[in-house]
């Protein structure tokens, strides 16, 4: 077992897939000469050359569209977005071309493309650079949405995403590229659409994804000292959603708290809450509770960020309320 940072696990996955398939290439801002904004692609230009590690202008709409066209032509692009916030410049390309190409062509061609980059709240970057966008992209059929929390998941899920014949939105965390964890030395893939229990428990299930998983694990440690056994379920893939894993966890615990790094209105947490209430009503000992960021644009100042963002304390309070019902 190697101990890798998330950036290293992503790099290993891309490098292996590029050796495996000559149609795979990486394109994005600063991915080549600068080794990537977060050093995910460090050394890849020297290894694969400028035809497969391609620097682009600051023009997301252009290079996302170029990547989609390349995928239509039989290549398998990886498009690195410096942050998913910048994907909004290319929203029309991702939604109206990538997500719908297979259906609108009558199944004549697939669009095997991965859009990947940093997602969610960062630190002191303000409202335009600190948004979690899973719910926006998961809303549209035709896109798969992955959001990772560990180096092992980043490696195994990215390899599956690159091999998938559908467009995949692969969301990392700007604050977690240096997070370390064990990754098997042998090659492996993690199938898209499979959640994972990161910590078992019996009293309440905390459902989350991306770096909020680690906030949930910190909360679970405190809850355990109070005699509350909290399961932590990592969705890993938002779409397709592993409903069965969610329903099984709710059936076991009877109480559910969904933790979302993002806004409450029309979020992934709201969708999970609706599905659990519809499918697991008899198994619930109380309503599904949600923990989200406050419903205001992200502030810049550190002290205000701490008030707006989710925290272990917020999760602990929600779990206590769920168990007390």
- Is 277 a residue of the active site? no
Class at the top of the CATH hierarchy for domain 196-324: alpha beta
Residue showing tokens 């240096």: 178
pLDDT in tens, 284-293: 999 999 999 9
% of the chain surpassing 90 pLDDT: 95
In the chain, residues under CATH classification 3.40.50.920 are: 196-324
Class at the top of the CATH hierarchy for domain 2-183: alpha beta
Token pair for 2: 């190697």
Contact criterion met (CB below 8 Å) for 211 and 259: no
Residue 13, SS3 per DSSP: helix
Does pLDDT of 127 surpass 90?
A: no
What is the pairing mode between strands 256-260 and 289-292?
parallel
Find the catalytic residue in 8, 17, 29, 60: 60
Q: How far is CA 267 from the centre of its chain?
A: 14
In the chain, residues under CATH classification 3.40.50.970 are: 2-183
Distance between CA 159 and CA 171 in Å, rounded? 14
Distance between CA 165 and CA 27 in Å, rounded? 18
Does pLDDT of 203 surpass 90?
A: yes
DSSP code, position 98: I
pLDDT in tens, 232-274: 999 999 999 999 999 999 999 999 999 999 999 999 999 999 9
pLDDT in tens, 24-44: 999 999 999 999 999 999 999
pTM: 0.96
Using CA atoms, how far residue 101 sits from 10, 111, 112, 213, in Å, is 27, 7, 11, 33
Find the catalytic residue in 129, 134, 172, 271: 129
- Is 129 a residue of the active site? yes
pLDDT at position 128: 87
């Amino acid at each position: 077992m190697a101990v890798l940072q998330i950036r290293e696990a992503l790099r290993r996955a891309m490098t292996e897939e590029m050796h495996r398939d000559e149609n795979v290439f990486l394109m994005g801002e600063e991915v080549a000469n600068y080794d990537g904004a977060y050093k995910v692609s460090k050394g890849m230009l020297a290894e694969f050359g400028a035809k497969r590690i391609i620097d682009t202008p600051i023009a997301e709409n252009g290079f996302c569209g170029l990547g989609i066209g390349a995928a239509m032509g039989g290549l398998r692009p990886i498009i690195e977005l410096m942050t998913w916030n910048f994907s909004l410049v290319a929203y029309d390309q991702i939604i109206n071309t990538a997500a719908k190409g297979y259906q609108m062509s009558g199944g004549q061609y697939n669009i095997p493309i991965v859009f990947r980059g940093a997602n969610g709240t960062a630190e002191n970057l303000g409202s335009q650079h600190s948004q979690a966008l899973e719910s926006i992209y998961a809303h549209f059929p035709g896109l798969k949405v992955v959001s990772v929390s560990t180096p092992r998941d980043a490696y195994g899920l990215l390899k599956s995403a690159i091999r998938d014949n559908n467009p995949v939105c692969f969301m990392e965390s700007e604050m977690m590229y240096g997070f370390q964890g064990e990754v098997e030395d042998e090659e492996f893939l993690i199938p898209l659409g499979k959640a994972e229990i990161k910590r078992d428990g019996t009293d309440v299930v905390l459902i989350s994804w991306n770096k909020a998983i680690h906030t949930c694990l910190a909360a679970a440690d405190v809850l355990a000292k109070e005699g509350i056994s909290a399961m932590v379920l990592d969705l890993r893939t938002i779409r397709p959603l592993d409903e069965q894993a969610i329903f099984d966890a709710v059936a076991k615990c009877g109480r559910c708290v969904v933790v979302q790094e993002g806004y409450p209105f029309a979020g992934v947490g709201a969708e999970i809450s609706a599905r659990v209430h519809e499918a697991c009503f008899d198994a619930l000992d109380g309503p599904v509770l949600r923990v989200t960021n406050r419903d205001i644009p992200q502030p810049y100042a550190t002290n205000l960020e701490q008030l707006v963002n989710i925290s272990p304390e917020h999760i602990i309070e929600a779990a206590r309320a769920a168990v007390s019902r």
